[in-house]
Chains A and B, each alone.
Chain A
Amino acid sequence: MNREELESELERLHGASYAWSLSCCRGDREEAEDVLQESYLKTLDGRARFAGGSSFKTFLFGVVRRTAAERRRRTWLHRLALAAWSRGPVEALHPSKSIEARSSRLEGALARLAARQREVLDLVFAHDMTVEEAARALGISTGSARVHYDRGKKRLRQALGGHQP
C-alpha cells in the first residue's frame, strides 16, 4: 500500500478507530486522540508495517492497542517518578481527571470485567470482528481469546442483571 492508499484506509476507519482508541484509554478523550495520532503516524511512516496477513482494520486496531499500552506504561512510570521525587500522594498514580464519565449501564457492567475480556467483547460486538480477528488485534492466541470471550460474556450478563442463555 502506498501512502495515499494508507491515508484513505485510515480515513475510512477513522470513526471506529477513535471509538476503539477511546476504549483502550478508558474513556480519556485527550489520551485517545494522542494515541490515535501516534498510531496513524506509525502506520504512515512505516514504523508499523501492514504486511497483509490480516484485514487492515485488524492491523490498525492492534497498532492502536499497542500504542495505548506503551503510553499507559510511560505515563505510569512518569507519574511514579514524579510522585517519588516530590513525595507526592499516591493518588497521583491514579488515572487523570480528564477521563470522561461514561456512566451508561453497559459502562458500569464493563468496569467489572477483566481488561482482556472487555477488549475481546468490544472488538466482537462493537466492531464486528470474529474472535479470531480479535485475537490477532490483541496479540493473543485464538484459544485464549475464546476463553476471554465466553467468560467475559457470562460476567457481563451477570453484571447487567440479565438472563444467562
Chain B
Amino acid sequence: MSPAGDDDLRRLFEERRTADEGKAPPFRKLLGRGRSGARPARIGPAGLATAAAATLALAVSLALFHRSPQPAISIEEWKAPTDFLLDFSYPSLLDTIPAPEAVPDYSLLLATEKGTTP
C-alpha cells in the first residue's frame, strides 16, 4: 500500500522486523510450553504475603469448624438456645385470673388530672 517514496521507511521497519524475528524462540518449544502449562506467574513479596495470609485464614476457619464434633441428638431432646427466656419465676401469676375487685381504682387519678373532685 505504501508508495515507492516510502522505501526508506519500509527498509527501516524490515530491518527491525528481521532483527526481532531472529530472537524468536523455536515454535515447538513455545507451543510445548503452552501444553505443559504456562510460565509460572511472577509473584512478588506482596503476592506471597497475601497468599500466606489467605492460607492461614482458611486453615484457622477449617480448624474452628471441625474443632468439636457435636453428637447428633434426637428432636425430642433438642432444646432451643433461647428456651431460658421462657423460664418464669412466678408461674402462679399466669395460672390465676385476677378478680374484678383486684383491678385498681383509677377514678381518683383521672379526676385530679381533669381538676375536679368526685
A-to-B contact residues, CB < 8 Å: 7, 10-11, 14-16, 18-19, 22-23, 29-30, 33-34, 36-38, 40-41, 82, 85-86, 88, 102, 104-107, 121-122, 124-127, 129-132, 149, 153, 156-157, 162, 165
Closest chain-B Cβ to A142's Cβ sits at a distance in Å of 11
Closest chain-B Cβ to A131's Cβ sits at a distance in Å of 5
Q: Are B46 and A86 in contact (CB under 8 A)?
A: yes
Kindly report which residue of chain A lies nearest to residue B10, judged by CB atoms. Answer: A125
B-to-A contact residues, CB < 8 Å: 1-2, 5-6, 8-10, 12-17, 20-21, 23-25, 27-28, 30-31, 33-34, 38-39, 44, 46-47, 50
Q: Are A165 and B16 in contact (CB under 8 A)?
A: no
Chain A residues touching B, majority SS = helix
Q: Are B31 and A40 in contact (CB under 8 A)?
A: yes
Chain B residues touching A, majority SS = helix
Residues in B whose Cβ lies below 8 Å from that of A7: 31
Q: Are A106 and B23 in contact (CB under 8 A)?
A: no
Residues in B whose Cβ lies below 8 Å from that of A125: 2, 6, 9-10, 12-14
Q: Are B30 and A36 in contact (CB under 8 A)?
A: yes
